[in-house]
A and B are shown apart, each in its own frame.
Chain A
Amino acid sequence: MPINYYIFLSLALFCIGVAGVLTRRNAIIIFMCIELMLNAVNLLLVAFSKMHQHALAVSNPSAGIDGQLFVFFIMVVAAAEVSVGLAIIVMMYRNTHSIDVNFLNRLKH
């Protein structure tokens, strides 16, 4: 599979995520679009790690394993980020009874 297919698929997923962050006002859907962008980057990292391994397979058999470990650490950080972010959203809903991000533009209530 040529690498440019994966590059353009990841670009399309990332830009759909960017458009979702810019258009939607629901805070949880904005979080989901951020997850979409993280997964686009993860897919591109895995594709590049396999490309690197394909290029360097004879000289270095474990080439490209760093990319997959980076994907693993991105998943770890994303899980922590989602838990803290959802707690903040629940706190915001408790204060304003809405999860519209337009209500947060003054950073006070």
Chain B
Amino acid sequence: MTDKGWCPIVYDPLVTPTAVPPAAARPTTTATAGPANGRVDALLSAILVVTSKNPVHSVLWLIGVFVAISGHYILLNAQFLAIVNLIVYAGAIMVLFLFVFMLMNLNSDMEPQKNKWLKIAGVVAGGSLLLVLVAALKNADMKNQLAEMNKGDIGLIHNLGLALFQDYVVPFEISSVLFLSAMVGVVVIGKKD
């Protein structure tokens, strides 16, 4: 339990119970099952994104997925990516989705789903992909490869900023040009002619 940065969540699943910090420093509810709850939350919310009839409910469940994934980033001590994920995805992109939904004034029976076989075939195709990938990776030799939790400082904003502006400054500038072209493209597409 070394340096945690500014992050208040100090849960570490690999630490022994004698080294657990005092209860005031731990998160209150899910202190003993944090990553397991994160996995269940992410998967359940993702399934509900796909199966919700109402598109607005689907957007809200997708925000749940993003919050769960940000929790995983915090547990992996990637704090900059956790905050950027919350701000950009859950804060900006999802608001954009909701805004477009409100703008279109859709009702929930707008989606004609005539062919049941297409739906079944899609679920079977996705499940087959999952089956093949899990079967291919199930026996891979990664039993002793650990993803380091709550330690390491490569996810802090100081180190990421140094790497971004020293080694990756050309992709950074190119991404700014990409944003400019995307903005111009949106204005051109959305203009009523």
Residues of A within 8 A of B (CB): 1-9, 11-13, 15-26, 28-29, 31-33, 35-36, 39, 42-43, 46-51, 53-55, 57, 62-66, 68-69, 71-73, 75-84, 86-91, 93-94, 98-100
| CB < 8 Å neighbour of B126 from A3, A18, A77 | A18
A16, A32, A69, A75, most chain B CB atoms within 10 A? A16
Query: In chain A, what residue has the closest Cβ to B148?
Result: A54
**How far is A39 from B69 in the complex, measured between Cα atoms in Å?**
8
**How far is A78 from B165 in the complex, measured between Cα atoms in Å?**
21
| CB < 8 Å neighbour of A26 from B78, B111, B130, B178 | B111
The range of chain B's interface size is 35 or more
Q: Is the CB of B178 within 8 A of A62?
A: no
Which one of B2-10, B21-29, B154-162 is at the interface?
A: B154-162
Query: In chain A, what residue has the closest Cβ to B38?
Result: A9
| CB < 8 Å neighbour of A77 from B58, B76, B100, B175 | B175
Query: In chain B, what residue has the closest Cβ to A33?
Result: B50
| CB < 8 Å neighbour of A19 from B122, B160, B164 | B122
With A20-B50, A50-B77 as contacts: A76 and B178 at CB distance below 8 Å: yes
